[in-house]
Amino acid sequence: MNVNERIFALSPDLSGVWAITPEAMTAFVDALAGSLESTPQAMEQAAKAVADLAEQSQVLQGLIREMKNQG
């Protein structure tokens, strides 16, 4: 049983309402799979950006302390 058949088997009532072609379902599943593959990469990049920002914030706080001590 292919992916489309399994999806229609899980929701036979909705398959008629949707009136979606197997090609459209395949395109939808492919798009969803692509999104699921890119999500971990996006989360990893976001985590790195947050870590970089935290590091920059600490450096800036240190510079501000130095300036206050000199002033």
Neighbours of 20 (CB within 10 A): 17
Check pLDDT > 70 for residue 15: no
pLDDT in tens, 17-42: 556 778 887 888 888 888 888 888 89
Domain, as residue range, for 48: 3-70
What does 3-49 look like in DSSP terms, one character per residue?
HHHHHHHH-HHHHHHHT--HHHHHHHHHHHHHHHHHHHHHHHHHHHH
Say if residues 25 and 33 touch (Cβ distance below 8 Å): no
Count: domains in the chain: 1
Confidence of residue 69 (pLDDT cuts 50, 70, 90): very high
Kindly state the average pLDDT of the residues 57-69. 94
Say if residues 26 and 8 touch (Cβ distance below 8 Å): no
Tell me, what's the pLDDT at 16? 57
